[in-house]
Each structure stands twice: as structure tokens, then as C-alpha cells.
Structure 1
Amino acid sequence: MSIDVRDAARLAHQRYAAPPPVGLRTSPVVEQQLAHRSVRRYLPDDVDDATIATLVAAAQSAATSSNLQLWSVVAVRDACTRARLAELAGGQGHVTQAPVLLVWLVDLARAHAVAARHEAPTAGAEYLETAVVGFVDAALAAQNAALAAESLGLGTVYIGALRNYPTEVSSLLRLPAHAFPAFGLVVGHPDPAEATRVKPRLPQSAVLHHEVYDESAHDAVEDYERRIGAFYADEGLAHSWVERLLARLSGPHALNGRDRLREHLHDRGFPLR
């Protein structure tokens, strides 16, 4: 497949809202990644079983720690269930617009079941490290699925707000003990009426360190605040990246219930020793 270097350069420029790093290499996959955007308006068109199976195959092709595969995913199509999940996630309408919501789980239930069949101990599953592995595995799998979906012309958006009420989500999806809903991924056909642009990210000078961490990289935030501010202004929004960051860190009230995450995990069978 021939690659249009000019198109790749345009996508990279959009990603940074500034000239991108010199010499970026390109490929169809890199172009797809540079073009990523969250989609929040969908057509009602179905996403069929073959497509879901394809996304899960892509997800299962992601790296997984020690091949333990400590994740699962629930494909939710039922309109009433999605409506309730949308409500629990703060009323996000795109959860109900799109035909499917993939709920990604940290799944130690399967591992506990295997251990029970072999009458083997599971004390290691009680430690924070094992839960972290499950969250990382689920995130890697979901991102593979998201990239696959976008390569097929579909749109996606993550729903982290499912963690606002994990007990209710778990009950709704009939999750067993030792399974925890990490986040959702909306999948559907983007509504062409939504002209969402690629959102600029921090410059590489803010995130890329060589050999050791360089705290002077924090200075790059000031320029980014100007560029993302201009982007938001073009979108008719009065947002500030710095203000949003500071608001999220300001206190437990800003976490919308996720300040009780340790408690919720404990209740789901994750002691986090």
C-alpha cells in the first residue's frame, strides 16, 4: 500500500496543533493512530457479531503479562441496559446512541475458578500487583480493539465514568466476585453531522525524556495551554487544560465517587494487600 507522506504530516500537525517532530515515520497503522478522535454522536446502524468478534480477536492479540490474560469484556447491546449504564456514567447520551457498549473487566474470577478446580491456593491474587496487572491487561486489550474498530470505519469513545458506581454496574452485568468493571468502550458508526476534530496533545518535549527524567520538561505546558486553548476556542468552548487538570486533582469531590475505588475493589474481592 502506498503511503501519502503529506497526509501523514497533516495528521501529525493536527495531533500537536504545531509542526510535529522532524522525521516521523509513517505507515497505515501510524496514520490511523494519528487520526484518532473520540466520537460522541452515532448513527443507530448495527455493529454485527462478526465485527465484535473481530474487535475481540484484535484485543486478544495485545500483550498480556505472563500470558495470564486477566481480563474479559461484556458486549452490551440491550437498550435498557445501556440506558441504565449511561445514567450511572453521568448521563452520557452516546452510550445509548451507539448500538453496543463494550465493558472491559479486570477478571480474576476465571483464575480463581481454575485454581479451585486444581485445589490450588490463590493468596497471590490478593495483592495490589495482581489487580494492577488486570487493569493494564484490560487497557492494552481495549486499545487494540479501539484501533481495530477505527480501522474498520467505526467510531469509539471510552467511558471511565462506569467506575463512579461499580457496584451497580457489577450487579447489572451479573459479574461474579473477583471481576471488576474497569471502563467502557462505545463502538458504533459515527454520525457525519458531528465534525469532531483531532484534539491536540502535549508536545513531545513534555512527555519524552532521554535516559533520565528531566523536570524542565514541565515548562512545555505553558505553550500547550495556549495551543489547546485556541483549539477549544475554535470549537466554541471556554475550556482550559490547566484548569481541568487542577480541578480533577483538587479533592475527592472531583472524582465523582471514584474516591471510593479501593473500597469498591475490596467489596468485589480485591483485598489489595
Structure 2
Amino acid sequence: MSRRLVLITGASSGIGLAFARAYASHGWDVALTARRADRLEKLAEEIRLRFGVEAHALPADLAEANAPEDLQKSLLALGRNVDGLVNNAGYGQPGGFVANSLEQHKAFMQVMMMAPMELTHRFLPGMIEQKFGRIINVASLAGFLPASPGDTLYGPIKTFLTRFSQSLHLEVRDHGVHVSALCPGWTYSEFHDVVGTRSKLSKAIPEWWWMGADEVAREGYVAAEANRPCCVPGAPNKAVAALLNIVPGDWTMELASGQLRKIHR
């Protein structure tokens, strides 16, 4: 098989779905994973017909500790190596730290942090061996904030993904492997619908600040090909990221708190 294969997590909607189409449009075969098997099968069929590449639907729940190993076994059974990895799966967990159970927090960290780390560890050696690889970890502009109340673990985990990507970028850049953190801001997807914040956010966040998932994925693809360690898509988000690098942390904490009060009032 001459075509490259990319594994995309959280591929059934939003940025993950957009990445699937973006990679397929550039001639990559795609392996799609998410919990919703029906959506994956539908997307895989669309990609086969539209782009003429192979598309594999591999339903999995990354909250289960054995999911990364099972995905690796499934791909080995297909006789395919993983040339690209997009760690995109994720969700929000609002309501505050105490209001969510310890088991909810553990599952959240498994999906958002442990699974991306393990998938990277499982597939990176093959990329290094063949001297080619692409890894995109979908982080967030929220990872640039020193703190954000409410969705307590989200920002710190996204900070981890960004720093993890940057460190790994330095570690493997001489091996033909590109590693990038993609840090989008407000993005039109199902993310905010699932956590029930869509209507409030639409009122609080100006329309010009929002980006489409397709645009975010395109910028992420270009950044990975250019081997940029971090990509913040969209001019407003770039400006915010630059500002957060120079504004004192206690100021940004208060700004974040004020913005959240505006959203949730």
C-alpha cells in the first residue's frame, strides 16, 4: 500500500471530522475512531466515494484504558502502519471540580490526556523507524490561560498537550517526524452543544471570533506539514495568545473569571 494512513480520534464530528476530510483530500487513507459507530461508518463511506482513498471505521471509547491498545491491534490486523496521528477526541466537563465525581474526572483525564500520550507512544516508534510521521495534538487557546474556573481540568490538560507537543517536536524533529499542537479558540462544532453552553456563548462571544471546524483543520494540517510546534489558528486568537504571553498571570485570571461570569449569568 503506497498511500499514507492517518489515525484520527474524535472523528465523528467537529474538528476531527474536518481533519478526516482534509487528510483524505491530500491523498491520505484514514482510520477514524470515536464512540458513535453509525457516524463513523457514514463518514468512512463518504470519504471513500468522494476522495477515492481507503477509510476505516474503528469505533472505540477512549475512556476505557485498553482502547489505545485495541486500536493498535485493529490496525495491525488490517496490515497498516500509522503514518499520521491526530489526537483530537475530547469534551468539556463544566460545573466545577467538586460537582463532578472522581470517576468522571478520571474518565476525563483518560480521554483528554492519557489516551493521546499512549497513542503517541504506541505509534511514534514506527514513524521514527521509517523516518516519516505526522502528529497533531488538538489543544486549545484555553491552555494559554493561567487558570479558568468551572471547567477546572480542561485548561490544565490543554496546557499539558501543548507543552507535550513542543517537547516531542524538539525530540523527534531530526527523525522526519513532525509534531504540532493545534490551539483553536471558539470553534463552531458540537462541542458546546453537548455541554449545553451554545446559546449562552452565542450571546457572549462576538461572531467574528468564531471559526469553522474546516478552517481550523486546514490550518492544523498546514502547520503539521511545515513542522510548526504550535499553531494558533485565526488572527483574533493569535492576538489573544500573544497578549497572554506578556500580561501578568493574576490579571488574566481575573479577566477569565469575568468572562465566565458574563457567559453563565
Give the structure-2-normalised TM-score: 0.27
Greater relative contact order, per chain length (Cα 8 Å cut-off, separation 6+):
1
Work out which of the two has the higher radius of gyration on C-alpha atoms and give 1 or 2: 1
